[in-house]
Amino acid sequence: MIPSNKFSLVLFFVLSVICFQVTAESTEIAPPPAPTIAASAYILQDYHTGKVMAESNADAKLAPASLTKIMTVYVIFRELSNGHLHLDDTVSISEKAWKTSGSRMFVELGNQVKVEDLLKGVIIQSGNDASVALSEHVGGSEEVFAEMMNQHAARLGMINSHFKNSDGLPVDDHYTTARDLATLTTALIKEFPDYYRWFSQKEFTFNKITQQNRNKLLSRDESVDGVKTGFTDDAGYCLVASALREDMRLISVVMGAKNANARANENQTLLNYGFRFYESHRLYQGNTSLNEARVWKGANKTASLGVAEDIYVTIPRRQYKDLKAVINVDKKITAPVAEGSKLGSVKVTLKDEVIINKDLVALKAIDQGNIFQRLSDSVIMMMEKPEDGK
């Protein structure tokens, strides 16, 4: 009888799902140091794994200017997704929204404007007036809306951020960080892929006025599909960019560049570095069986085990062949087993360094067996020879 207790299975990525095909060249080249970026703070990270490939002052609390609007839009998207708001709802433009200074969508006092148009005005035209109008409509006031922004920031783990308004105009105690903005952008793309497409739109016309998206990378690099620019005298020139090449998405954040061209150039430098010297792979698909484990005293004799969500890895190029994975399954799994119960682990190493360690979970619940199944398994379990040294 093959023992059903804890075991290890070393995988060399030869087959799909559990093993992976090796395509990398045999020559190993370590990535060069990250480029030096002329900005107050910056970060470059992989969307799927959060792997940071370059950073400087990424946790410094800085004025975000219109990068604030990424959080404004995120909150609105959440309200849309939970049914509290609809794209064709109309918003009455208040005097405060109409008078808001800086970049504008040019909404008119007292007019009724659709939520969808205001969102495009925020995303594409960076309209401060549109941001205030939406915040007042959703929160009742911009102050209440700012508290909603802070609540979402806390939930997302943006521990060094605090918002006081929806548009990013200078005000005391209003700040965020490059790292927190990367976290926010990751959440926005992951949670709202259908709405995210608006961030790649290069122009928008409202009230017979056409304005261009200020993100110059949308025209320079076809792989770039967002995200948002910002500028004030206090914040300098800022840009959060995201690019997708093949199956790899990177997010770059540059804060405090010297001019509009510089913020585009520095983001492009970061993105090119990441794509040139790193690669990203999905190793395991979430909620897909990776292993069948023996279950004792259950209505079923086996349980399908897998990982709760897709597992990605970001590694230097030409090191794919050095990846190894080990699946460990708990011994003596006894029913009942709840769906999602931790029953082992998946550990991935690169040159003996652990880079991933995820729970192996039950994909379906296993109920306790009837009296005969339980008695039969109890006898078998007592007769089984224990492992040496156990």
CATH code of 343's domain: 2.60.410.10
Question: Could you tell me which residues come within 8 angstroms of residue 36 by beta carbon, excluding any fewer than 6 positions away?
Answer: none
Identified catalytic residue from 4, 51, 69, 131: 69
CA 170, CA 304: separation in Å to the nearest integer?
54
Instruction: Specify whether 66 is catalytic.
Output: yes
Burial classification of residue 348, based on how many CB atoms lie within 10 Å of its CB (0-12 exposed, 13-18 middle, 19 or more buried): buried
Query: Which of 262, 280, 298 is where one domain is finished?
Result: 280
Instruction: Specify whether 126 is catalytic.
Output: yes
pLDDT score, position 2: 36
Do 202 and 349 lie in one domain? The reply is no
The answer to whether residue 203 sits within a structural domain is yes
Query: Which of 280, 314, 336 is where one domain is finished?
Result: 280
Structure-token match 């504008």, residue found = 104
Give the DSSP H/E element, type plus range, for residue 43.
strand 41-46
pLDDT score, position 28: 58
For residue 321, give Cα distances in angstroms to 30, 93, 355.
14, 59, 15
Asked if 183 and 154 touch (Cβ cutoff 8 Å), the reply is: no
Which CATH number does the domain housing residue 175 bear? 3.40.710.10
For residue 115, give Cα distances in angstroms to 6, 118, 143.
55, 5, 19
Q: Which region holds residue 106: left if phi is over 0, alpha if psi is between -120 and 50, else beta?
A: left
By C-alpha distance, which of 2, 26, 10, 85 is closest to 324?
10
Do 215 and 238 lie in one domain? The reply is yes
Do 135 and 258 lie in one domain? The reply is yes
Q: Give the structural domain span for 188.
A: 41-280
Tally Cβ neighbours within 10 Å of residue 6: 13
Identified catalytic residue from 126, 161, 166, 242: 126
For residue 44, give Cα distances in angstroms to 35, 239, 265, 316, 339.
11, 12, 14, 14, 36
Do 354 and 242 lie in one domain? The reply is no
Number of domains in the chain: 2
pLDDT score, position 16: 35
The answer to whether residue 80 sits within a structural domain is yes
Do 248 and 299 lie in one domain? The reply is no
In tens, the pLDDT along 112-125 reads 999 999 999 999 99
Do 362 and 214 lie in one domain? The reply is no
Q: At residue 113, what is the residue type?
A: V
Query: Which of 227, 262, 280 is where one domain is finished?
Result: 280
pLDDT score, position 385: 60
Do 219 and 262 lie in one domain? The reply is yes
In tens, the pLDDT along 64-100 reads 999 999 999 999 999 999 999 999 999 999 999 999 9
Instruction: Specify whether 228 is catalytic.
Output: no
What radius of gyration, in Å, describes the C-alpha atoms of the chain?
A: 26
Do 233 and 120 lie in one domain? The reply is yes
pLDDT score, position 271: 98
CA 353, CA 196: separation in Å to the nearest integer?
36
Sign of CA dihedral 193, 232, 183, 84: negative
The answer to whether residue 71 sits within a structural domain is yes
The answer to whether residue 272 sits within a structural domain is yes
Per-position pLDDT tens, the chain of length 390: 334 333 333 333 333 333 343 333 345 578 999 999 999 999 999 999 999 999 999 999 999 999 999 999 999 999 999 999 999 999 999 999 999 999 999 999 999 999 999 999 999 999 999 999 999 999 999 999 999 999 999 999 999 999 999 999 999 999 999 999 999 999 999 999 999 999 999 999 999 999 999 999 999 999 999 999 999 999 999 999 999 999 999 999 999 999 999 999 999 999 999 999 999 999 999 999 999 999 999 899 999 999 999 999 999 999 999 999 999 999 889 999 999 999 999 999 998 899 999 999 999 999 998 888 888 878 888 887 655 444
The answer to whether residue 3 sits within a structural domain is no
Do 177 and 214 lie in one domain? The reply is yes
Do 245 and 312 lie in one domain? The reply is no
Query: Is this model's pTM higher than 0.85 or not?
Result: yes
The answer to whether residue 347 sits within a structural domain is yes
The answer to whether residue 248 sits within a structural domain is yes
Do 108 and 255 lie in one domain? The reply is yes
For residue 110, give Cα distances in angstroms to 94, 98, 166, 209, 364.
6, 9, 20, 19, 55
pLDDT score, position 123: 98
* Phi, psi of 101, deg, nearest 5: -85, 180
Half-sphere exposure of 319 (CA within 13 A, CB side): 18
Do 167 and 299 lie in one domain? The reply is no
pLDDT score, position 380: 84
Asked if 319 and 350 touch (Cβ cutoff 8 Å), the reply is: yes
Give the DSSP H/E element, type plus range, for residue 243.
strand 236-245
By C-alpha distance, which of 40, 46, 48 is closest to 273?
46
Identified catalytic residue from 4, 66, 242, 252: 66
pLDDT score, position 352: 87
The answer to whether residue 34 sits within a structural domain is no
